[in-house]
Structure 1
Amino acid sequence: MPAPELLVRGGPLWAGPGSWWPQGAVAATGGVITYAGPAEGAPATAERVIEAHGGLIMPGLVNAHCHGAMALFRGWADDLPLEVWLQEHIFPAEARWINEQTVELCTLLAAGEMLLAGVTTVGDAYFCMHGAARAYEQAGLRALVGQGLIDFPAPGAPEPARNLAVCREFIEAWQGRSELITPGVFAHSPYTCSPDTLRGAAALCAELDCRLFTHLAETREETAQCRARHGRSPVGHLESLGLLERLDAAVHCVWLEPGEEALLARRGVAVIACPESNSKLGAGWADLTGLLAAGCQVALGTDGPASNNDLDVLSEVSFAARLAKVKTGDPAALPAEQALDLALAGGAAALGLTGVVGRLEPGYGCDLIVLELNQPHLTPLYDAASHLVYAASSRDVRQVVVAGRQVVAERRVLSFDLPGVMARVRELAGRVAAGRPGEGA
């Protein structure tokens, strides 16, 4: 048998829940895992060998929901309720500064941040998404890229009547174009999309066989507004439109009514919770244990860097696990391994990538990270999942591989010039702060 193209060895391997070897290895060819298991059963060599040097080898993390290009607005407006934050600060700034060039630049910044935090797959939802798709492809990050759909003029789609056409053009341009990029539709929310727009989005996704996702039941105010306008809760509104049967993932789901968790589970709608962002905006928290008990597929996302304000999924996992214990009063709620899996198999399912990412097993994509263990806060090691959820930091990530390609080595991004991108974003941010007219990137 020929040697594999890649071999990662020299450290403990946590390949997913229930799969642990004190000394393990992962081999891959063509970007696909051919071996994952104990070191003694691994190939002796490969075309390229990455030595873990005692570091923990594990699957790459999945950030199931973010708005990457909003890195431009990190710290722009904080300590505000969602409605004020959006209407008075974010929407006006986006109208002035967001275009395809700024989206590409700032998504590259977000991609670099995520790679250094061990994220190998992301679900991104925003506007001008040709720029985002190019950025993720250049960075070497696997991405479900959702073109935003909204019922008022938006960046890249100044005529609301053409928003669905813009989505169609984006999907047709990117379907099958890159092994890393999957296009989809992000219908912003029931409060910014009319029933006709939502039905149109569902029909488009059914026609083109792509994924549909939306923000749903994020705040108490949104729920009250939906009841006043449509006579139903946000979930009930989508159900009345026949949307839940076509919806792949709903983001937030903080203010669900009794029985709606079970309804989402029956309809096969994954829930992507963003507990840190929801907390910062004072919106509340999704009931993760209740959603899981109802049979929902649950994933975790950071939301955008303007509302979180980082893209650190490992931090999100830790916060979610602790929050579940506070919310239920039960220290056994959402144990470490289950919480961690929300950012692995849970994220994969929400993005339609089950069997591709979220595990280190033969046949899966070779998306993995190596964490440095030789540090005081990670000594000693009894339980890998416990360490990852309650002790580790994204800054412990040392090596990152996506689809068999090494994109981070010793905390240096290899796939693009991250320091150069940071310098360009700082220059752009200077113009944003000064209130000068946008001139692109």
Structure 2
Amino acid sequence: MTACDLLIEGAWVLTCNPAMEVIPAGWVAVKAGRVLALGRPGEERPREAAERIDAAGAILLPGLVNAHTHLPMTLFRGLADDLPLERWLNDFIFPAERLILDPETVHAAALLALAELALSGTTTCCDGYFHADAVAEAVLASGLRAVVGQGVIDGPAPGVPDPSQNLAAAEAFCDRWEGRSPRVRPSVFCHAPYTCSEKTLAGAKRLCAARGLLFQTHAAETRREREECLARHGLTPIGLLERAGVLDEGSLLHHAVWADGGDLEILARRGSAVSHNPESNLKLAAGIAPLPEMLSRRIPVGLGTDGSASNNDLDLFGAMDLAAKVHKAARLDPTAVSAAEILRLATRQGARAIGMEAEIGAIEPGKQADLVLLETRAPHLTPLHDPVSAVVYAARGADVRTVIVGGRRVVENGRVLSFDPAPAVARVEEAAARLRRLLAPPAPGPA
């Protein structure tokens, strides 16, 4: 067998291939940034390797895929907790964004989020926010991958003060970033059917379809959204999206908590994907999405954290644990969703949901060598009867030892190698202090 650049040996290899094959004490060879080959202990492997990693006893899995993030919202972590979504957005988040966002601050906040993702084993995310150029530049600097969506609303937005220019700004962003780097894919993110008209939704979808890019939107996140959409349009939010002509295999809907049977049939028929965000949905008391019903209809579903302001972390291991458990409790059925199904959502199916299944999401020859090595020599991971169970129910982001993206190490032993997060931390702390001053009530005047 030909020589390779990197040979990882002795790990439990969780391939996340279609059969979800697990290889005990397996090996994976990497060449030119991609998986060259993998196999079992007795099978032929490359004799020559520029670098070897002894991973005996560790767990090797594909880099995790976070299907829904708002990276710069690290700025608002813990700013306005324990509130309903509508009040949280309208009374706190939207005003804070108007006060504080500029390209430099967005870049720093996105870098902070990317450091958190890398350290906890996520190598690809699907993002949507304002000042998307700054987010994309941060992704390039981080060494990770991302689908980066330019946020669109029918109102003044950070970076796009004139709403009549919202789609023009999104198109210009896509033009600047399409083909610029294999690690950044541009996208258009219409915030929601209640902040974007059908005309805007349809225009954004046409823009994406013409370029083969992913269209994103929040949809059916809360009961109130559903009820208001029914009252105003006589349709559910997903029904409205279908009427607008935006649903097909190139569309990703975030949340779909209040999708009913008819909505799920629409999604299955159109081939549209969903991101499942249980931590955010529970924190905002939005509800519990019908994940088992989505999976039974073969709707593509990825797992997401949502932004730091509504989670409040970006650790996809925590999201896996909760997603595997909450549906069991909601249905009083311990078989409602299995650990293997949830791991698939965080890897292979997540890649499919964001349109990148051909490149990432599994350890298979020819795919990108995006790999995560978990240290298992810890009390909470001992004994290791079943590595899939350990990953979903017991592992934490802090257990990540090594992260590799495209054959290049970006994390080693709890340290980010691809960039220095310290300047971003300092910039975000300064911006957060400024935001607190701006939001503080005025001091009382003299009596």
The TM-score range, normalised by the shorter chain, is: over 0.9
Give 1:341's aligned residue: 344
Pair 1:91 & 2:94 matched: yes
User: Of 38, 54, 60, which residue of structure 2 is paired with 1:36?
Assistant: 38
Contact 1:212 1:246 in 2 (8 A): no
1:311 to 304, 309, 314: 314
RMSD: 1.5
Measure how far apart 1:53 and its partner are.
4.8
Is 1:219 paired with 2:222? yes
**Residues 15 and 36, structure 1, Cα contact 8 Å, conserved in 2:** no
Q: Which runs of 5+ in 2 are unaligned?
A: 441-447
After TM superposition, give the deviation of residue 189 of structure 1 in Å: 0.5
Give the counterpart of 1:81 among 77, 81, 84: 84
Distance 1:233 1:262 in 2: 13
- Alpha-carbon distance in structure 1 between the residues aligned to 2:416 and 2:162: 38
Q: What is the one-letter code of the residue matched to 2:218?
A: H
What amino acid sits opposite 1:361 in the alignment?
A: E
| Aligned residue number for residue 120 of structure 1 | 123
Q: Give runs of aligned pairs for residues 216-295 of structure 1, distance below 5 A.
A: 216-245=219-248, 248-295=251-298
The answer as to whether partners of 2:249 and 2:273 remain within 8 angstroms in 1 is no
Cα offset, 1:39, TM superposition: 3.9
Is 1:350 the counterpart of 2:344 in the alignment? no
Equivalent position to 2:300, from 287, 297, 300: 297
Whole-Å separation in 1 of the counterparts to 2:187 and 2:245:
19
Residue 122 (structure 2) pairs with residue 133 (structure 1)? no
- Asked if residue 13 in structure 1 is aligned to residue 13 in structure 2, the reply is yes
Shift of 1:236: 1.1
SS at match of 2:127: strand
One-letter code of the match for 2:256? C
CA distance in 2, matches of 1:244, 1:371: 38
Task: Determine if contact 1:202/1:246 at 8 Å carries over to the other structure.
Answer: no
Task: Please report how far the alpha carbon of residue 259 of structure 1 lies from its aligned counterpart in structure 2 after TM superposition.
Answer: 2.1
TM-score, normalization by structure 2: 0.95
Task: Give the residue type in structure 1 aligned to 2:86.
Answer: E
Which amino acid counterpart does residue 20 of structure 2 have in structure 1? Answer: G
Aligned counterparts of 2:248 and 2:13: Cα–Cα separation in 1: 39
Partner Cα separation in structure 2 for residue 147 and residue 200 of structure 1: 14
Show structure 1 runs of 4+ deviating over 6 A.
Answer: none
Quote the residue 1:362 is aligned against. Answer: 365
Whole-Å separation in 2 of the counterparts to 1:398 and 1:348:
23
Whether the 8 Å CA contact 1:148–1:186 is kept in 2: the answer is: yes
- Provide Cα deviations, 1:410-438, integer angstroms capped at 9, x if missing partner: 1100011113321222122111112289x
1:106 and 2:96 aligned: no
Aligned equivalents of 2:83, 2:100: Cα separation in 1: 21
Return the match for 1:202 from 205, 222, 244. Answer: 205
Q: Helix, strand or coil: the match of 1:326?
A: helix
Residues 2 and 46 of structure 2 are in contact (CA less than 8 Å); yes or no, is this contact kept in structure 1? no
Per the TM alignment, residue 7 of structure 1 is displaced from its structure 2 partner at its CA by: 1.9
Provide the TM-score with structure 1 as the length reference.
0.96
Deviation, structure 1 residue 49? 2.5
1:61-103 CA-to-partner distances (Å, cap 9, x unmatched) read 1100010100010011110000000000000110111121111
SS for the counterpart of 2:182 is: coil
Q: What CA distance in whole angstroms lies between the structure 2 residues aligned with 1:352 and 1:62?
A: 11
Partner of 1:175: 178
The one-letter code of the counterpart of 1:255 is: W
Cross-structure match for 1:4:
4
Alpha-carbon deviations, 1:125-177, whole Å to 9, x = none? 10101111111111111100111111001111111111101111111111111
The alpha-carbon deviation at position 19 of structure 1 amounts to: 1.8
Deviates more, 1:351-360 or 1:111-120: 351-360
CA distance, structure 1, for counterparts of residue 349 and residue 411 of structure 2: 24
Q: In structure 1, what residue type is equivalent to 2:191? A: H
- Deviation track 1:236-280 (CA, whole Å, cap 9, x = no partner) reads 111122222375111000111222112101101111111100100
Q: Mind listing any 5+ residue stretches in structure 1 that lack a counterpart?
A: none
Give 1:32 deviation, angstroms. Answer: 1.0
Residue identity matched to 1:38: R
Shift of 1:209: 1.8
Q: CA deviation at 1:58?
A: 1.0
CA-to-partner distance for each residue in 1:330-379, whole Å, 9 max, x for gaps?
11111111111111111101110112111101011100100111111111
**How far apart, in 2, do the equivalents of 1:147 and 1:380 lie?**
45
Distance 2:111 2:383 in 1: 36
**Cross-structure match for 2:443:** none
- How many residue pairs match? The answer is 437
- Residues 202, 247 of structure 1: 8 Å contact kept: no
Q: What CA deviation, in whole Å up to 9, does each residue of 1:181-237 have, x standing for no partner?
A: 000110111000011101110111122221101000000111111112212110111
